[in-house]
């Protein structure tokens, strides 16, 4: 490979060719340009003059699906040190990058950190002061926000890096253990309770400020309320096709590559009686969201709550002592089961759920109830421990079906095949087909549904 008129680039390519092809070289060059931060920008983020800064890659390969993450280490003139996480679009605005643009994920995340989180914490602090409990402190389990920007091209969000404080990501290939799950369910219970309190006190005017469609998508898998019947029909058809096709692909891959000797029979059971599960996959999957107002109660949810979006810190004995939640790119108005069922099924193994599911659900309920009690706020009407657990089991099948969409993105093969069709189901199939772990997780979940009487 030669680059006419560019001897320096030719020399650099000859040095690096052993590390990969031209695509790798382009990635290196592109990454270098993205690390070219301006001193004045960083000073505006940390709000004081800086002496020096360095930058580098911020995550391991495959740790983040829809963003590229860089790490910036800053030393100020006053002697303070800051370690920042700088998130922006992937290296090319194709595939996942295009998805990130279309879904406005950086708009949503910046809006959450800039506006929503401070509003929640301010409302909570005011209540604690009113009830003479200002010595208590209830805050959201999230990182510090420094800055953000949006224009659909150079979007970024800059946060405090949690790793210097001892936080680290769990292994997504193993799943969470009992101690991690208990802490995680307690933390998301606290988060949900604080957001429920905020909406109860402040109302839902925040959803009507002109950014509803950009930030708080009320119904993730349900067409938006456009007022145009034809547009909504097209949206429904598109969403239905994606969910149905991804689940159909998962059935075929379990049949072809599953580990069990009865994989043919298992694939048939996955279809559901008279193909009901397959043919109504979209309706079943979107039913959890659709029940937010009629059956459950609204609050602000994370929207993509799974183990890759949490970080734990540990004590000297290796037990988790604290947890933070990150990646608020799909935060929206919703209900607790949209977070909980998705989290449980994407973050734990079948073996874990068999012995610990109810115990971890109880940890969530206790935390939710305790947090509202600290705020002297009543529980939602009828929200008893028993009704909560019943609601979780009512939403198991939607969470199971969504695994066919989620697993390829989470533990599927990395990268994209340029020869694969550009449509999303085809790209997800390519990822899942090349990941034995993704197929195994789907196969195990299907067997679990059969054992529980859902298939």
Which range (140-149, 265-274, 367-376, 410-419) has the least confidence? 410-419
Which range (10-19, 53-62, 369-378) has the least confidence? 10-19
The residue-averaged pLDDT of 253-273 equals: 92
Q: How far apart are CA 393 and CA 102, in angstroms?
A: 33
Pairing of strands 81-88, 50-57: unpaired
The β-bridge partners of 91 are: none
Q: Where are the beta strands (DSSP E) in 59-109?
A: 68-76, 81-88
Note the pLDDT tens digit of each residue in 317-360: 999 999 999 999 989 889 999 999 999 999 999 999 999 999 99
Q: Which of 241, 223, 240 is nearest to 232 (CA)?
A: 223
Q: How far apart are CA 47 and CA 41, in angstroms?
A: 10
Q: What percent of the chain has pLDDT over 90?
A: 62
The residue-averaged pLDDT of 291-299 equals: 93
CA torsion, points 332, 335, 337, 340, in degrees to nearest 10? 50
Mean pLDDT over the full length of the chain: 84
Which range (199-203, 325-329, 408-412, 419-423) has the least confidence? 419-423
**Phi, then psi, of 234 in degrees rounded to 5:** -65, -40
Q: How far apart are CA 147 and CA 86, in angstroms?
A: 9
The residue-averaged pLDDT of 168-179 equals: 94
Q: How far apart are CA 80 and CA 226, in angstroms?
A: 50
Other beta carbons within 10 Å of 396 = 20
Which range (163-167, 221-225, 430-434) has the least confidence? 221-225
pLDDT band at 424 (very low <50, low <70, confident <90, very high): confident
Q: How far apart are CA 48 and CA 77, in angstroms?
A: 8
> At the top level of CATH, which class does the domain 111-142+167-451 belong to?
alpha beta
Provide the edge-to-edge strand list for the sheet that holds 50-57.
Answer: 50-57, 68-76, 81-88, 156-160, 145-149
The pTM (predicted TM-score) of the whole model is 0.86
**Phi, then psi, of 159 in degrees rounded to 5:** -130, 165
For residue 4, the model assigns a pLDDT of: 38
Q: How far apart are CA 199 and CA 293, in angstroms?
A: 13
pLDDT band at 33 (very low <50, low <70, confident <90, very high): very low
Note the pLDDT tens digit of each residue in 72-98: 999 999 999 999 999 998 765 444 446
Hey, where are the domains in the chain?
Answer: 7-103, 111-142+167-451
For residue 421, the model assigns a pLDDT of: 62
Q: What is the token pair recorded at 294?
A: 């009629």
Note the pLDDT tens digit of each residue in 432-442: 999 999 999 99
- Any residues with CB less than 8 A from the CB of 269 and at least 6 apart, and which? 446, 450, 455
Q: What is the token pair recorded at 289?
A: 């969201």
**CA 163 to chain centroid:** 19
């Amino acid at each position: 490979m030669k680059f006419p008129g560019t001897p320096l680039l030719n020399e650099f390519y000859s040095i690096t060719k052993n590390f990969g092809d031209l695509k790798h070289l382009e990635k290196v060059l592109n990454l270098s340009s993205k690390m070219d931060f301006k001193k004045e920008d960083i000073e505006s983020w940390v709000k004081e003059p800086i002496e020096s800064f360095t930058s580098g890659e911020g995550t391991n390969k495959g740790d983040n699906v829809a963003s590229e993450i860089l790490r910036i280490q800053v030393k100020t003139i006053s002697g303070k040190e800051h370690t920042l996480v700088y998130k922006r679009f992937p290296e090319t605005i194709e595939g996942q990058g295009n998805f990130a643009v279309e879904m406005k994920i950086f708009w949503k995340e910046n809006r959450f950190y800039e506006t929503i989180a401070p509003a929640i914490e301010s409302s909570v602090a005011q209540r604690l002061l009113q009830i003479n409990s200002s010595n208590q402190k209830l805050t959201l389990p999230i990182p510090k926000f420094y800055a953000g920007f949006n224009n659909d091209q150079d979007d970024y969000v800059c946060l405090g890096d949690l790793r210097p404080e001892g936080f680290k990501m769990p292994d997504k290939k193993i799943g969470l253990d009992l101690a991690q799950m208990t802490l995680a369910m307690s933390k998301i219970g606290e988060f949900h309770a604080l957001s429920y309190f905020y909406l109860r006190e402040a109302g839902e005017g925040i959803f009507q400020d002109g950014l509803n469609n950009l930030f708080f998508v009320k119904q993730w898998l349900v067409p938006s309320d456009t007022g145009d019947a034809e547009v909504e029909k097209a949206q429904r058809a598109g969403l239905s096709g994606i969910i149905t096709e991804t689940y159909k692909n998962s059935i075929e891959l379990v049949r072809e590559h599953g580990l069990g000797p009865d994989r043919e029979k298992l694939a048939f059971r996955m279809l559901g009686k008279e193909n009901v599960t397959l043919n109504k996959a979209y309706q079943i999957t979107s039913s959890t969201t659709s029940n937010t107002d009629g059956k459950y109660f609204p609050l602000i949810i994370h929207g993509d709550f799974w183990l890759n979006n949490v970080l734990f810190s540990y004590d000297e004995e290796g037990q988790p002592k604290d947890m933070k939640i990150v990646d608020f790119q799909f935060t929206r108005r919703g209900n607790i089961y949209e977070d909980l069922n998705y989290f449980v099924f994407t973050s734990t193994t079948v073996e874990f759920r068999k012995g610990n599911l109810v115990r971890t659900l109880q940890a969530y309920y206790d935390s939710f109830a305790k947090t509202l009690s600290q705020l002297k706020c009543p529980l939602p009407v009828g929200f008893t421990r028993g009704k909560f657990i019943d609601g979780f089991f009512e939403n198991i099948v939607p969470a199971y079906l969504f695994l066919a969409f989620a697993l390829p993105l989470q533990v599927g093969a990395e990268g994209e095949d340029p020869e694969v069709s550009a449509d999303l189901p085809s790209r997800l199939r390519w990822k899942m087909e090349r990941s034995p772990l993704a197929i195994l997780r789907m196969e195990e979940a299907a067997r679990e549904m059969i054992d529980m009487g859902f298939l």
